[in-house]
Structure 1
């Protein structure tokens, strides 16, 4: 049996770090919502963990609109990839339309079709960790779109390029393909010859 919308919401919220969840709840209380709906009171959100927050979202907004509200809040706190991933896995776009069960179960993405090649970022993980020599430049290109301030600082503070890349790769499982594309483009811009070498294999 596939995951429900609530399961996907829980996954998205549980993926957030503690500080990110705090930002999420603060913004959730402020974000404009559709006519007929109300913001969740700050007092109810204050001590809520990821599961409680999910339950509040569903009780206030119903399943499909709760997903859209969650995605909007994630985008507004610079977690655009997480927002895109949530909309992708649930099949809910801005119109609130849901993909068919068949499309969803096959991971249908429209542009890439049901079967996708492993992404360059996944395929060459080990060598990118070992051989990327200009990590700070890559982080600078990802900062503010894929990486928030806290993630950027944490990765940049690691002692060596290998440790920095390992720390960066801890985030990759929560990214969708477009986020991996951005990392690929950043690597290509700052480590051109390494990417060319790996692509030539």
Structure 2
């Protein structure tokens, strides 16, 4: 079985030299975190060992977001190798021991709509309450997976109508961590696929309308200028693209000979400008892997624009 999240964090932090570990603590204490969270005070981190720091990360940020924060900080202090090894460990984490789980972390890494799925039930609460027809097996599954307590399960099941059960379930899910919300979405979809698919189609149509208003096109094209100016980890991206036959050896050598990340990214964008969206999606995956913060910030800005 895999590591728990805390074991994975401790393993990663112990790999850091003293100076890097102190840099990790410094950055962690001032990192700009999501609005529903707060920074870990520096005085709680100072002088603490990796076990204690890992425990504080989970205490303050829970599981999914705690993993994300740790990966971002490791990237920011230029500990790329440790970050990569931690990411691998998290992909093998044991969900039965409060880890992330292989399937879950793979989704976090590769499914760029992960945040939308996390918030799917909150975002569609009123429609789900009126439309969902099969909620009892959802409740049983969530109870069996330890997300609903037996008491919560009993309270919800006391309701007579499906809409009342769904209403109370949505109210409970609202306060769960990201992984719990994502699991609830998947369970709900499993028993009510047609309803969920219709709502997802509505979401997708909204995205298409937004894109038509903002110039449309693929993410790489919409944000070409920003990517050129802000992407710094280009070389490992080029290596992955070459290894997966998305760059020819000639293109790879030409790009590697260029002197700055900006020039490399400008020419890389030009190479893929006229490629299919399927190819661009693969480029996006590798781009995200090495430049998570830049890509995530762009995704957040688009989601905020979509919601206005």
* Greater relative contact order (Cα < 8 A, sep 6+): 1
> TM-score with structure 2 length normalisation?
0.31
Q: Which has the larger radius of gyration?
A: 2
